Amino acid sequence: MLVATGAGHGRAQNAGDAEAARVNEVSSVLMGLEIAMLHVAAMVVASQRCGYGDANGWMRVVEAIDRRYSFCATRDPYWTAAVERAFAKQVPEARARGSSTGMGSLAFELLLPTATRQFDAKYASGACSSFPEEMVEGDAPATARQLFNLGRDPAWIEATCDKFYPASNN
């Protein structure tokens, strides 16, 4: 009987709560994505420049995020709208180049120049020997390592989209 009491107000509040939860989820994912993709980009640069690790393995993280984003965006257009807002400049540029407009690819392409500059500024003077190899070969920061592992799990790609990273606490 509590459901029937104030049903109109409850629906409006629940719609607002659902929208707020959605905004929070997308915001959380995008903030975490920036941190993770900067690390992924740094690992790709280190792999390419110094032969540490496997750049293709890290690129699979980008591809997995793109596949997960595509899966969720087909079920909830809010994801597409949020990503197009977050990457307002990059989306049209990617489309013009015929590149992916997936969330992982957009973030990676945006952050790769930054990662390259940071790598050059921090490690160029000492060459590859000054880059801590354990960043590539050992334990990567938690968010990037979690994405790397999730990217290996095909069940994650098609899991329910109530949380982008269902295996995490976001």
pLDDT digits (tens, 9 = 90+) for 8-36: 334 344 557 777 777 777 778 888 788 88
Residue 164 lies in a domain: no
Pair of tokens at residue 119 = 């790598």
Per-residue pLDDT band at 134 (split at 50, 70, 90): low
Mean pLDDT, rounded, for 128-132: 72
Residue 1 lies in a domain: no
Q: From CA 163, how far away is CA 32, in angstroms rounded?
A: 13
Residue 166 lies in a domain: no
- State the pLDDT at residue 163: 80
Do the Cβ atoms of 131 and 123 come closer than 8 Å?
A: yes
Residue 168 lies in a domain: no
Q: From CA 43, how far away is CA 57, in angstroms rounded?
A: 10
Domain extent for 118: 8-157
Amino acid at 91: V
Pair of tokens at residue 103 = 């969330």
Q: Is 36 left (phi over 0), alpha (psi -120 to 50) or beta?
A: alpha
Number of domains in the chain: 1
- State the pLDDT at residue 125: 65
**Spatial CB neighbours of 166, under 8 Å, sequence gap ≥ 6:** 156, 159, 160
Per-residue pLDDT band at 162 (split at 50, 70, 90): confident
